[in-house]
Amino acid sequence: MWFCALVVGVIVLAGQQPQKSKPQAPRGHVLALPSGGTLRYATQGSRTLVEIRPPRGGGAKTQVLLRRDETVAPASRIQSFELLGEKPGGVYVISDGYASRPGPMSYCQAGKEQFVRVLARRRGSKPGLHETFSLKVASCRSNLELGPAGLAWDSDNSTLLVDQERLKRYRVGENGLVTPY
């Protein structure tokens, strides 16, 4: 009797069509932008997906995949993400952090790799979001540490301050281009 029930169950299951599912975008985390709209970030393989959604009627969403270097643990999830500043016209200053790639003898197993980046919305014939600047600011693997002042954004002067071995200043232009001074 139980054998007949098993055979009937197998026949029923075999006749069902597998359900097709849409590929899911990584859910990620969402931050509100000071200018309106949102910034979403998520781990996607060994990269970080950043997506900007302008306020309603403000245009299409744009996104960029940020690369990580060899000191970041493979497929590490985002440990920290901060929007440091935003400039009019679609320029965003962010900081993102990840777990360090572990080294021999437990070296850097609890370490962190941190970057500061500038992203800019591109307009015209090839619209989109692109990375105009990237700097590693803290690293267990590379022996880099932020000083007491850390990272700071001065919106009045469009200046990024990075306190490492010495204080470094970077001016961020209207198009997202960064120049040290």
DSSP state of 125: S
Residue 101 domain boundaries? 26-144
- Within-domain flag for 164: no
Residues 109-147 as b or e (16 or more Cβ within 10 Å = b): eebbbbbbbbbbbbeeeeeebebbbbbbbbbbbeeeeee
The span from the CA of 119 to the CA of 83, in Å, is: 11
pTM over 0.85: no
- Within-domain flag for 171: no
How many domains in the chain?
A: 1
- Within-domain flag for 46: yes
pLDDT tens digit at each of 181 positions of the chain? 555 454 444 444 455 444 444 444 456 899 999 999 999 999 998 999 999 998 887 778 899 999 999 999 988 999 999 999 999 989 999 999 999 998 887 788 889 999 999 999 987 767 789 999 999 999 999 999 998 889 999 999 999 999 988 899 999 999 999 999 8
pLDDT of residue 75: 81
- Cβ(46)–Cβ(99) under 8 Å? no
